[in-house]
Structures are given as C-alpha cells and as structure tokens.
Chains A and B, each alone.
Chain A
C-alpha cells in the first residue's frame, strides 16, 4: 500500500482550522450553514478564502460542505456561490442534492465532488453511480459495519471516506421541534438560543444513561448520537483496507478535545505507515482520548461491529 489516507476535520473558524492542522489534520471541511449542514461554525466566503490559503500553505486540502437539502430558493444563489468557491480555490465540495452536481459542473468544473448523503450512502453500486455522475469520493454512511466497508472498498471506483471518531447525526427534521415543544409548554424561548452552544439534550425513558444532543439552526432540528465513535483500536483494519480519508467529527466538542483526538489519530496513522507489518495499537493512545472524554458519553465502535436487523 502506497498512499496514506488523509485525516479530515471540520472546522468552524480560521482559529479552529489552524489548531486542527497543527494537531495533525491534513484536510479540513468548512462551510456556511445556508448551503452546508451540521458544521461546527458557519463561515462566510472571506473566511473560507483565508482558510483555503492557510490550508494550502501547509499542504492540506480544503473542502466545503454543500450537502444541504436544496430548495428552489437556494438554487438561485447556488451558481454564484459555487463560482466563488472555484475562484478561491477550494479543493472539493460535499454534495447530496443533484442540483449541486450541476452547479459545480457548469460554474467551477475544477472543484472535485464528494458525495455525502449521510445515512443513505450505503452500498458500492450507488457510490459508483454517483461516481459516474462526477463524484470523486463517497462519504460512507456511519451505519455501515466494518465488513461492509472493507468488502466494498475493492468494488469502489471512487475514493471512500469513513468517520473514525466523534458523534453522528441520527435525525434531521426541517421542523423546529425544540421551539415547538417550548411553545407547547408555554415556556418562552425569548432570546435564548436553541442552537449548538445551548447544550440541549434528550433522554429517553428506558435509556436514562444516554444523552442525545439536540439543537436547532436554520436547517431545522438535529439530533445527535449519545455515544462517540472511536475506531482507534482497530484503525489498522481501515488502513489495511485502503480507505482514502478518515474523518474526525469535531461537532459539539471543544477545540482542545478535538486537538487531542486529531493528534492521537495522526500519531497512530504515522506509526502504522512507518512500519505497517509491525504496527501495534498502543493503549496509551486510547488513554489519552479517555482522559479528555466526557464521562457521560460512551466511546464506542458505533456500528462497526453491530448486526442490524430490519
């Protein structure tokens, strides 16, 4: 195996971008809430342009999220926005809606396309379909297990990205569910934010130990997993399978937490590629992550080793 996978982190500001690059990320995902989704921060074009410069100076890639579910209204702005992204030199955009495919092909054909349909990017055949439509990479659903990922890799005609750490989105509605609930209770929302910074969470009666973060933004209501994926122990399986990009989800975490996680994954990846045959997972790496982990959030393998039924 010759190519080293990239280590990707979403960044919400120029400062975060700086910190994550320093911690070992060599690809960043940024964007604006209007076109992207569930970003740690919304960045305008100027800030994105500065981040592109920063990333490129350090030999890193810069991707922009355009994976919102587009409306007729957004279509009118999309070509202009995409043209600007092309002008400032972003390396790729993430998309789900076919309208983005068209905008990029016509307005900024040099930008690569990464197909990210969240929980619905579930098989090789559909990934290759979007590949034929112009996508260079698939961001695989977090609900796939390890066998599905490693088995499909050889059948993929495009690059594949997998999330290796952090929380995942488990529900997205266009409805303002928290605001509605508050109104139903007669509890004024006032100026109080219902956004990411508020720290809202849900607890289900039979799962009293699990906290599911919930927040609202211009794209509706988002509910997140109660656990944080951490595949560090079995990272070598993904590396052996030849995945092209490993994503650390930074959403709803502090910068210092994300730095520790990125740094640890960077160390593990570099250790592996120094001598793949003698690579061994080191418990100290895991200890480092555990030492910053919120004790009320479990570190788990996500769906990597789960059997799902239907």
Chain B
C-alpha cells in the first residue's frame, strides 16, 4: 500500500509528508536522468497496454535495469497500463502484470477495471493507481476507488485546487495531479478525433493529436437564404472567420505550476506529475531539476519560500509551447489556447553530456548531442543545482586531435571547463 498517513503538514497535509515528484521516462536513458535529477518516482510505458504506442517503451529487461538504478536513489518506477481495453486485449493482461511485478515495478497506472481487477487478483503486491483517463473529478468517485482498494487516484485535469483540497478533506488517499506539460484539451479518454480522422484508436495509444490541427469554423446558412455562401464544392455554410484570422483549434497551452508550488502543496497533492514520455532527455532533466529545487526549498522553510526567477528561466529553456495554469484556478479561456502557428523549437539545444572530469587538469569528456564549436556560449547544469556559463575553448577528440567543431553525434569531445562537473551534468547551447 501507499505511504503511511503522516502528521498534518501546516495543518493541511494528510498523506505523504513531502510531495512526490513524478517524472516521465520514455526510455532507459531518460529514466536515469529523471532519477539523477531528483525525481522521486518515474513512470514509463511497457510494450503493451500503454497510451504511447509510438514511444520507445521498455522491455522487461530494461524495466529491471531501470528499477535497480532508481532504487539506488530511493526512487520508484511505475508503469502506465492506461488503455481502455478491447476484448482482444483482455487475454494476456495477467501475464503482463506478473512480468511487471517480477521486474520490480512498484505500481501500474490504470484506467480500465478490466486491468485493475486482474492486477488486484493476480498480483496484489503491485499497487494500482487510477489513471487520469478516468477523468475523476469529485470526492465520491475518489472514495469509490479507495473502497475498491486503490491507494492513489490521478485526478482529471479539470479539477481546481479548491476541489482538490475538498477531495483531500473527504478522503484519505494519495492524490496525484499533473503539474507540468502538455494537456489533452478534452476530458481525458473522451476524445476519438483520432479514430475518426485516421482510424487510430486514441484510447489505445494511437492518438494523432488532431486537437492541434487547424480547422475552419462555420455556421449553417439559413434555409430560406436564396444564395447560401458556398466555399467548397458540396458544402454550404457561413464562414465565421476572415482571411487574415488564425484558424480554429482545440490545442491547449502547456501546463506549468512552477510559480504556484505552495498552493499545490497546501492543497494536499501528494504526487506532482510531469507530463512527457515522448519528450527529450534535456527536457526531462531540466524540468525535474527545477521542480526538485522548488519543492525542496519550500519544504525546507515554507515561511520564507520565494520563487527564484532563475527557475522560471530554466524551464523556459526547455519549453516548446506557451504555458498556463490549466484548470487549477479558473476555467481556461481564449488566452489559454494556441491559435498561432504551433511548435516553436525549444530555445536551447542539448549540446553534450558530461561523461568524465579530471580534477587535476580541469578537462571534461563530453559526449556530443548537438553541434557546437569553439567560441560558442554554453551553459552547464546538473543535479543538485550545478549551473554555470562559459565559452567553448579548444576542443579535441579522444586522441587529442584538435577539432574545429563537434559534429558527430555521440562523439567524445575533450574540453576544459571553468568549474568542476560530473557525469550526468549536461551542456546546453542557445539555438541560433
């Protein structure tokens, strides 16, 4: 079962003494970085029953390795098994869940009772967390799942902070909520745009993100009008846009609650979930790093907690969409959706990864992840608050041969660094 009920924190917390920082991990490397940068738990996808059928997804062997790595840092590994199953998916659930348990997975995140019940019967040691796909928004629904034996519910993203606090007041259960990342603009699970547009089943991992496509909005022409406005062969309607207008879209800005950590903690949210199993290792490390620092700072001294502007700067270096606060304070309006052309690249690139560092010479071995060259302004960041900027000086390959640029992915580059670095530190460069 979940963590013990702890003494109230500031008169409010009733479950986990300190909120868990839960990070996505699309593959083994991302898992290691998420853990190393401070995640208390990570969630991953296996080969089946998850909602990211296009992601790398873990084999049982990789899960085992990930669990062992995480355990060294006291972190847990959860597996998303959050599809809405069809008949053909039922057979095989039990074997799959047994394998997850054997690999050391601490919990599954599931939406469908067809999966939840098998887990409880066949592998009772495996915790079941109710997925956000169930769109659970009220305390009685949460109570229901508690009575069904679930130690944790991931709420629907439509719940406000006030509603979350009410839920925590009524039900003694762990509450997990998304605090950062991309969001479905629909109620989770209540969208089959993908099924209709591309025959890809969104509730089994096939979502093609049709909500972020562009649409034209019309209204029906009145029947009595003699010449209905026609814009396309076969279809009549009055356009509700002008040529220069942006198109209609359902796409939402991304969630970011960094500036509201005290509110999240005081509402009693037990697990702070970051979205993004498809996101890059640079993204995961950056976001986890920032939230880790903010949570730790608050917990260390809530009364004197202040948001550091550099945390916000850091987050923006990895963001590729504008950010907002979702439903936590109010229902999103026109400023919370994206109508402009989408998907700008994040302003910074992951340039290299520190593999080794010689104290006596001040030389670091960097594994190349993106193009950089002498003279470039770069910055290093790492777990536990490592951060500094410098200019790239002379760079050499492993054999001491001087290079004019680091061009080759994964090539090992030797360069002098201004401050001590350590493996898992990352080097990033501003995109030009």
Query: Which residues on A are within 8 Å of B, measured CB to CB?
Result: 69-72, 74-75, 97-99, 101-102, 118-120, 122-126, 129-130, 143-144, 148, 151-152, 155, 170-185, 187, 198-205, 207-209, 211-212, 214, 221, 223, 225-226, 296, 303, 306-310
Contact = CB atoms under 8 A, between A and B. Distances in A.
B114 interface: yes
B137 A171 contact: no
Contacts of A152: 87
A252 to B, nearest CB: 11
Nearest to A155: B87
B141 interface: yes
Nearest to B239: A203
A173 B199 contact: no
Contact of B218 (A155, A170, A173, A200): A200
**Which of A74, A173, A225 has the most chain B CB atoms closer than 10 A to its own CB?**
A173
Nearest to B216: A203
Nearest to B170: A72
Given A170-B191, A207-B197, A120 B331 contact: no
A207 B198 CA distance: 11
Contacts of B387: none
Contacts of A308: 195, 199-201, 204, 206
B240 to A, nearest CB: 7
Contacts of A143: 192, 195, 201
Nearest to B159: A71
Given A176-B333, A310-B205, A119 B113 contact: no
B236 interface: yes
Contact of A199 (B53, B84, B220): B220
Given A98-B141, A171-B191, A310-B205, A203 B339 contact: no
Given A119-B189, A178-B217, A310-B206, A74 B138 contact: yes
B334 A181 contact: yes
Contact of B339 (A124, A181, A201, A202): A181
Contact of A75 (B140, B156, B237): B140
Given A71-B163, A102-B144, A123 B191 contact: no
10 contacts: A123-B86, A170-B191, A171-B191, A175-B252, A201-B217, A204-B214, A308-B201, A309-B200, A310-B201, A310-B202
A202 B190 contact: no
A126 B145 contact: no
Interface size class for chain B?
Answer: 35 or more
B248 A202 contact: yes
A181 B218 CA distance: 12
A70 B137 contact: yes
B166 interface: yes
A221 B86 CA distance: 27
Interface of B: 53, 84-90, 111-114, 117, 133, 135, 137-141, 144-145, 156, 158, 163, 166-167, 185-187, 189-193, 195-197, 199-206, 210-211, 213-220, 232-237, 240-242, 245-246, 248-250, 252, 327, 331-334, 336-337, 339
Given A185-B245, A209-B232, A201 B333 contact: no
B193 to A, nearest CB: 5
B216 A202 contact: yes
Given A69-B135, A72-B163, A310 B218 contact: no
A158 to B, nearest CB: 14
Given A202-B216, A296-B235, 19 more contacts: A69-B156, A69-B187, A72-B137, A72-B138, A125-B87, A143-B201, A152-B87, A171-B211, A173-B187, A175-B331, A179-B333, A180-B332, A181-B249, A199-B219, A200-B218, A204-B213, A296-B236, A309-B206, A310-B204
Contacts of A205: 213-216
B187 A125 contact: no
Given A69-B135, A172-B186, A184 B140 contact: no
Contact of B112 (A123, A202, A207): A123
B113 to A, nearest CB: 4
B140 A120 contact: no
A198 B114 CA distance: 40
B334 A99 contact: no
B138 A126 contact: no
Nearest to A99: B140
Contacts of B199: 306-309
B339 A208 contact: no
Contacts of B135: 69
Contacts of B195: 143, 170, 303, 308
B186 A201 contact: no
The 4 closest A-B pairs by CB, nearest first: A199-B220, A310-B206, A98-B144, A99-B140
Contact of B333 (A180, A209, A309): A180
B87 A123 contact: yes
A180 B237 CA distance: 21
**Which of A144, A171, A184, A307 has the most chain B CB atoms closer than 10 A to its own CB?**
A171
A125 B217 CA distance: 40
B246 A174 contact: no
Contacts of B333: 176, 179-180, 183
Contacts of B53: 310
A69 B137 contact: yes
Contact of A122 (B86, B166, B191, B217): B86
B114 A129 contact: yes
Contact of A97 (B138, B186, B203, B246): B138
A144 B86 contact: yes
A124 B140 CA distance: 25
Nearest to B187: A172
